[in-house]
Homo-oligomer: A and B are copies of this chain.
Amino acid sequence: MPFSLKILGSNSATPAYGRHHTAQLLNIGKYHFLIDCGEGTQERLTLFKAKTLRINHIFISHLHGDHYLGLMGLLYTMHLLKRTNDLYLFGQKGLQDIITTQLKCSDSRLNFRIRFHELNPERPEELFEDELLSVTSFPLSHRIPCCGFLFKEKEKPFRINKEKLPQDISLQNIVLLKQGKDIYDENGNILYVNKELTLPPRKARSYAFCSDTKYDEGIIEYIKGVDLLYHEATFLADKLKWAELTYHSTTEQAGLIAKKANVGMLVIGHYSARYKDLTPFLTETKNIFENTILSIEGETIEVEA
């Protein structure tokens, strides 16, 4: 099952050097989650050959323009592409009003229904759950209400080792094997030893998105041990004070959060437009947390099972 993150936008407040406002497309199995939607996101979706109509869930972290100004355009385009499926939209208080006001001014009625869920910026909340995965929001520390998002696969079943499986085993017993159980007969004698007939479950993967936020160890409890963490790193380490003032993070702070949360891999982004060369971002963050990569637009980060 795929679990991959495509970077659609990597810059902070102002587009620069071919880098754009924040947007990411997370593909887990059948789901295509859009996370933030900066100006021009619809164009990057087309450019990177993502299928816009496959997106049924959009998560907007907060209402600074560089995180949502592409949303209206995307909604209109979905309408023109004749979307009819409901669209699940998660955003801060006010986003629904922003959309409604603009639809009214353009005298537009979309072909599809937007099911809006107002985020709780104060405490974690489960936004979505099915048999495959769950999505949870959690508070970030920014100048205005802002949420991070945790995408987490459910624990997976033991995998049947088809080469070893007896031909006459019942479906019921296969279900028990997948649950990791040994199987006994009615007299309590062991019939099948689970580990002889199964392979270990595939790993349940996870991704956490944290933008925008100042350095805040309070988020560690929500993101600890994730396979992939996106943490904003708007500034290089020498701009620590400016980062604090603007409720953003530096490279080293992003690395420190990744280290303390013991994540598998860190991807940084939300670069300030003052920087053309991103090399120092990678170097500085790697000094704190080695397994770091840069978010580069158009690139896809696979989370292995």
Instruction: Give me the interface of A with B, judged by CB distance under 8 Å.
Output: 13-16, 20-21, 39-40, 42-43, 46, 63-66, 69-70, 72-73, 76-77, 80, 92, 94-95, 97-98, 101-102, 104-107, 143-144
Contact = CB atoms under 8 A, between A and B. Distances in A.
A102 B66 CA distance: 12
Given A39-B73, A73-B39, A105 B98 contact: yes
Copies of this polypeptide in the complex: 2
A65 B69 contact: no
Given A39-B40, A69-B73, A63 B105 contact: yes
| Most chain B beta-carbon contacts within 10 A, residue among A63, A72, A102, A104 | A102
Contact of A105 (B20, B80, B95): B95
Contacts of A80: 13-14
Contacts of A69: 39, 69, 72-73
| Most chain B beta-carbon contacts within 10 A, residue among A13, A14, A66, A144 | A14
Contact of A70 (B13, B39, B76): B39
The 10 closest A-B pairs by CB, nearest first: A94-B105, A63-B105, A40-B40, A39-B73, A65-B76, A107-B144, A69-B73, A64-B106, A63-B106, A15-B43
